[in-house]
C-alpha cells in the first residue's frame, strides 16, 4: 500500500535513506528535516506490515516546478515496481496541484527514463540550484543527473 507518511514513519524513513546515503546513492536526511517536510513524503507499506519499506518525497520548488527526492526502497522489496508506484504517486499529486514539470536529481537515470523522464542540463532548474544546491556538500561538483518530466 502506498500512503502519505505519518509521524511514526519518520525514524524508519531516515534509516532507509541512511542505508542508501552510506552507499553514496542519495543524500542523508536529518530527523529535523524529515519532520519539517513530512507532508512531502509517501511511503510504501507491505500488506500486513506496519513499517514502511519504501519512501519518496514530492517537494514543491516553484509555481511550475516540483522535485521528486529521497526515493528509496528496501532492498528486500526491490524489483517489484514499488519505486515506480511511489514516483507515480508523486506525479499524480503534482498534477492535482497544477504543477506540470517534475524533476529529480539521480544516479539511476534509466529508472526515470523508463517512467517518461528526459535527461536535462541542471542549468534548466535554476530554482533548485539556488534554493537547495548551494547548501549541498556536493556543490558545485554535483555528479547527479537531472531528469525532467513535463506532463
Q: pLDDT tens for residues 92-129? A: 999 999 999 999 999 999 999 999 999 999 878 865 55
pLDDT for 132:
58
Q: How far apart are CA 54 and CA 65, in angstroms?
A: 24
Four-CA torsion 42, 36, 129, 24, nearest 10 degrees? -60
Asked if residues 52 and 5 have their Cβ atoms less than 8 Å apart, the reply is yes
Domains held by the chain: number: 1
Q: What is the pLDDT of residue 69?
A: 94
Q: What SS3 string covers 60-72?
A: EEECCEEEEEEEE
- Above 60 in pLDDT, residue 38? yes
CATH number at residue 129: 3.40.630.30
Range of the domain at 46: 2-150
Closest listed residue to residue 40, CA positions, set 17, 70, 84, 81 = 70
Asked whether residue 66 carries a pLDDT value surpassing 60, the answer given is yes
Amino acid at each position: 500500500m502506498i500512503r502519505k507518511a505519518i509521524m511514526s514513519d519518520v525514524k524508519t524513513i531516515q534509516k532507509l535513506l541512511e542505508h542508501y546515503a552510506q552507499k553514496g546513492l542519495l543524500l542523508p536526511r536529518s530527523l529535523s528535516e524529515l519532520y519539517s517536510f513530512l507532508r512531502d513524503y509517501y511511503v510504501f507499506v507491505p500488506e500486513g506490515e506496519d513499517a514502511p519499506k519504501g519512501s519518496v518525497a514530492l517537494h514543491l520548488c516553484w509555481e511550475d516546478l516540483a522535485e521528486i527526492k529521497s526515493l528509496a526502497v528496501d532492498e528486500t522489496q526491490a524489483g517489484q515496481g514499488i519505486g515506480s508506484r511511489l514516483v507515480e504517486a508523486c506525479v499524480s499529486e503534482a498534477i492535482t496541484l497544477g504543477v506540470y514539470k517534475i524533476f529529480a536529481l539521480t544516479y539511476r537515470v534509466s529508472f526515470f527514463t523508463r517512467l517518461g523522464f528526459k535527461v536535462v542540463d541542471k542549468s534548466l532548474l535554476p530554482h533548485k540550484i539556488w534554493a537547495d544546491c548551494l547548501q549541498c556538500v556536493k556543490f558545485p561538483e554535483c555528479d547527479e543527473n537531472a531528469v525532467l518530466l513535463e506532463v
